[in-house]
Amino acid sequence: MDEIGQKLRNARIKKGYTIDDLQQITKIQKRYLIAIEEGQFDHLPGDFYVRAFIKQYSDAVGISSDDLLEEYKSDIPNSQPTQESAPEETKTRSIKEESNSFFSNLGNYIPQIVVGIIIVVIIGVIAFGMIHKNQSSSSVTIPKDNTEQTTKKAKKTTKKKTAEKADKKTETKSKETTVKESDTEGTYTITNVPSDGLKVVVEGSNGQAWIQFKEGDNTTWQQALSADEKKETTVPSDTTTFTIQTGNVNNTKITIGGKDVDLSKSQSGSTIVKTLTFNIEK
């Protein structure tokens, strides 16, 4: 049994908890709790769950999880995502070079552009003068019963505007982003994703929750969210699927496109560690 496992076990015994008691409190399976006490982290589902389970265990027995993870950080697997900046730098450099080339080429055509603008202005002035002259010389005939025709025209215009508003309202409603849970627990389907991306907000609710956010196979971010702490992510419109892993689904709130996601089915399960999958329909 290593030091961190011994420390957690002593704290549990001091609290008067058995392994079964701790399983009821944390909702973590008994075999994982025993593996943590014996320092057998390779028996846990993965590096993400090692940190998440140790945090829940330490909080349950009255030990500061942040202090514990910092003290034994060399013994605990680190699952933080790495950042790759080189592609971004190359992309930025390429954009700058294209921009400089564009403005350099544009300078060669400035004389032609100026001449073209002058010609267009002259033609516009001549055309305006001719139209104004024709309007001044033409006579206007006022039709009889003009009031009746105006009334009918106004009614038609009002009906047309009302129909257009109804069509726009129906079109707007049909294009609203929708999130629907499928028959499989923890799987959702999203439709009508905006072209500028999908706003996803993950929030700690009632207590702390360890969250991992992935777009496809790539980890976007992961961190522990305290109660009322929010993390917003914009998912690109060309993304087909993203997942949210939570170490405590009961302390997790998710909002997509400004609407709360119904997690009641996942929260009613026997375990609080959940992986929620969101599939985007095109």
Residue 218 sits in a domain whose CATH number is 2.60.40
pLDDT along the chain (282 residues), means of 10: 85 94 95 93 90 94 90 75 45 57 66 85 87 65 58 74 73 74 90 92 91 94 93 94 94 93 86 92 86
Q: Quote the pLDDT of residue 171.
A: 60
CB–CB of 277/196 below 8 Å?
no
pLDDT of residue 140: 52
10 Å Cβ neighbour count for 29? 16
- The residue written with tokens 């390779």 in the block is 42
Q: Tell me what pLDDT residue 224 has.
A: 92
Residue 83 confidence (pLDDT): 43
The position carrying tokens 């027995």 is 61
Tell me how crowded residue 177 is: count the other CB atoms within 10 A of its CB: 16
The reply to whether 102 and 187 lie within a common domain is: no
Q: Look up residue 135 and give its two tokens.
A: 């309007």
Looking at the domain assignment, is residue 271 inside a domain?
Answer: yes
Answer whether residue 256 is part of any domain.
yes
For the question of whether the overall pTM of this predicted structure is more than 0.85, the answer is no
Q: Are residues 113 and 205 both part of a single domain? A: no
Residue 65, in any domain of the structure: yes
Task: Classify residue 95: in a domain, yes or no.
Answer: yes
At 45, the amino acid letter reads P
Does residue 130 lie in a domain region? no
pLDDT at 79: 60
- Residue 12 belongs to a domain: yes
For residue 229, the model assigns a pLDDT of: 94
Query: Looking at the structure, do residues 191 and 273 belong to the same domain, yes or no?
Result: yes
Domain count, the chain: 3
At 109, give phi and psi (nearest 5°). -105, 5
Structure confidence at residue 159 (pLDDT): 78
Q: Write out the residue range of the structural domain in which residue 259 sits.
A: 178-280
Q: Are residues 100 and 61 in the same domain?
A: no
Same domain? For 36 and 97 the reply is no
Instruction: Enumerate the H helices of 61-145 as residue ranges.
Output: 65-71, 86-108, 110-137
Evaluate the CA torsion angle 249, 252, 253, 257 in order and state its sign. negative
What is the rounded distance in angstroms from the CA atom of residue 207 to the CA atom of residue 73?
Answer: 23
Backbone angle region of 180, left / alpha / beta, with phi > 0 → left and psi within -120 to 50 → alpha: beta
Q: Is residue 81 part of a domain?
A: no
195 and 105 together in one domain: no
**Burial, 23: exposed, middle or buried (Cβ in 10 Å; 0-12, 13-18, 19+)?**
middle
Nearest 5°: the CA angle 52, 54, 56 is: 70
